[in-house]
Chains A and B, each alone.
Chain A
Amino acid sequence: MDAIPSSVLLLDEELRVVLVNRNFLEKSHQTAGATVGERLNAVFPEVILAEMGLEHQIRNVFKSNCATEGQRLTYRAPGVPIRVYYYSVVPVNWGDQVDHVLLLLDDVTERTRLGEEIRRMERHLASIVESASDIVISTDIRGAILTWNRAAQAITGYSLEEVRSRPLFDYCELAGATSIRRLFSKGAPREMGRTESDVKTKNGGSRPVSWVFSPMMDDSARTVGFVAVGRDLTEQRKFELQIVESQKLAALGVMARGIAHEIRTPLAVSSSAAQFLEEDDITDEFRHECAERVQRGIQKASTIIENLLRFAHPSADRNKTAVDVRHVVKEAVTLLENQARIQNVEIRTEFPPEPCRVLGVPSLLEQVFINLLLNAMNAMPNGGTVRISAEQSVGELRISVADTGVGISPEDRDKIFDPFYTKARPGKGTGLGLSICYSIVDQHKGSISGDSEPGQGSTFTIILPVLFPADEERDESFESHDSGSGRQS
């Protein structure tokens, strides 16, 4: 009996202790001599016995021959901290007669403390999730909403009751919903997923949200759902917009000087040529030359202004369609083939056999490749090779235009996309070509970068988002979302 990790007392009908185990003696700080043979009220404090009605329960067990249901007993032995017991009274039969009862007491103090601790932790965790200023949502494996914190309610206006069991992507704008749906459709991804998607609000509006999806695992490391944490980007977007605006102002300052220099130079030539024409003693030949230079100067100034307009408004043509970049490049190459041959420049294209589809404006994309090819040709005054290649990887199309020309010096590399920055020989370039490329690619939600070593040629790489057939089906709504979100970069 001493091996039993519970306190055990064997009591007779007179409620005297017949046997007691070591566990009880240790817990109650009593000795066997002071316990065995004593009545129950000498072993337990009177107040406990009265409050718990223990004597009454024991007599009932003697009568009924039925064990009591387990109950809690809080007991504080003199000089020791309070303990919590879980006890029951069990009859010990001799034939049909109950001649003794066992009083079993389990010390559940620690378990009770742990339980309270767990409940406290749960309350604490719940309070963290509820107090978070970020959206915290849990979903099942298919994306149906299970929980939705206070921030989610504050940002969207929907309460948990309204959204419970509904798919999360129902509350996201189309483009984002597509990528979130893709995430869920992957089955049970074990890794985090990130995306940005506008979330629909109850009042019919939308808020930009940056999402991080983490899989929820059960004990056997099986993905059973997702935790989605979303950060409201409204304020960040406003801030970004302010930065973009201030950058535009700074760029305008730089551009104003560039424009002034580029346009006033041909105007100065026209003006001077006109002044020469006013002189009496000029030859017919010089008069003819002057008139030609007046014309040419005006034409140059006008071309610069036109390029500037293209740079400022590359989005004038908003009719984006599904474009196969291979065809666009082919068109651009056809236009420049002749010039390339004269300059002894070979243009090679290496494209995958399958279509390289993006959503874009064909004429603008063609302009990008024309500008890049012209740049490459200018960098190879003694001839060379331009290699245009494309490859498609996860969701993006990467197109490289590599030349074997003079290259770009490290100090110029940061400035190549700045308007009016040029290393071209006078009259060969205005410094707007790459700025226009940058502007157009940005308009197509892509990126352009240049890599070069002096003397080793330059490679320009354009990355554009690939057009998925599913996206293509909803071109129209894709577009309306696009213009509505007002993203800037």
Chain B
Amino acid sequence: MSLLNLMILVVDDNPDICWVLDHLLGKLGAQCVRASDGQSALQAMQLHRLALMLVDAKLPDMDGLDLAGRVRGADPGVPVIMVSGYFYEDDPDIQAALAQGLICGFVEKPFAHAAITGAMEAALCSREAAPAVEAAVVC
């Protein structure tokens, strides 16, 4: 699954993490858009046709899981991957969010770059396998 030219929103208030993901996505040929809080992320959704979002758990104005809920309400076709050091992989909150479909993947900080790439590819594949969701994105 190629990420070439896909627009990906990185939501993290830490500029160093944004620097990391910006470089990583750039190398993969994706376009990186940054937002440092939840409100800016929701605004960015209006402006860009996003392929997916990488979201931190703790944002200055809201929790990452709350943002994921609002993203799903606004556009269920944009997969959200949580990238955070706040939770651990089998954390009950994360397991619940995955089960509810609030997020479609979780990557723990610090991460191997391959883990981020793998999570993004898996999210995009599952999106393609769900035509109803694709239709929603098109609308």
Choose from A263, A264, A293 the contact partner of B16 (Cβ within 8 Å): A293
A-contacting residues, B46-63, CB 8 Å:
57-58, 60
Residues in A with CB closer than 8 Å to B23 are 272, 276
Interface assignment of B35: CB less than 8 Å from any CB of chain A:
no
Min CB gap A266→B, angstroms: 7
Residues in B with CB closer than 8 Å to A261 are 57-58, 84-86
Are A268 and B111 interface neighbours, CB within 8 A? yes
Find the B residue at minimum CB distance from A279: B27
Interface assignment of B17: CB less than 8 Å from any CB of chain A:
yes
Given A272-B20, A273-B20, A423-B60, are A265 and B109 neighbors across the interface (CB < 8 Å)?
A: yes
Interface of B is mostly: loop
Are B15 and A268 interface neighbours, CB within 8 A? no
Choose from B19, B60, B110 the contact partner of A264 (Cβ within 8 Å): B110
Choose from B14, B57, B87, B110 the contact partner of A271 (Cβ within 8 Å): B110
B-contacting residues, A410-446, CB 8 Å:
423, 426-427
Residues in B with CB closer than 8 Å to A462 are none
Are A267 and B110 interface neighbours, CB within 8 A? yes
Residues in A with CB closer than 8 Å to B85 are 260-265, 267-268
Interface assignment of A139: CB less than 8 Å from any CB of chain B:
no
Count of residues in B whose CB is under 8 Å from the partner chain:
24
A276 CA / B88 CA spacing, docked (Å): 24
A275 CA / B115 CA spacing, docked (Å): 12
Are A265 and B19 interface neighbours, CB within 8 A? no
Residues in B with CB closer than 8 Å to A91 are none
Count of residues in A whose CB is under 8 Å from the partner chain:
23
Which of B13, B36, B87, B110 has the most chain A CB atoms closer than 10 A to its own CB?
B110
Find the A residue at minimum CB distance from B57: A261
Find the B residue at minimum CB distance from A281: B27
> Which residues of B are at the interface with A, using a C-beta cutoff of 8 A?
13-17, 19-20, 23-24, 36, 57-58, 60, 84-88, 108-113
Q: A269-B17, A275-B112, A426-B15 given. 11 additional CB < 8 A pairs?
A: A260-B88, A265-B109, A267-B109, A267-B110, A268-B109, A272-B23, A293-B16, A297-B16, A423-B60, A426-B36, A427-B16
> Which residues of A are at the interface with B, using a C-beta cutoff of 8 A?
257, 260-273, 275-276, 293, 296-297, 423, 426-427
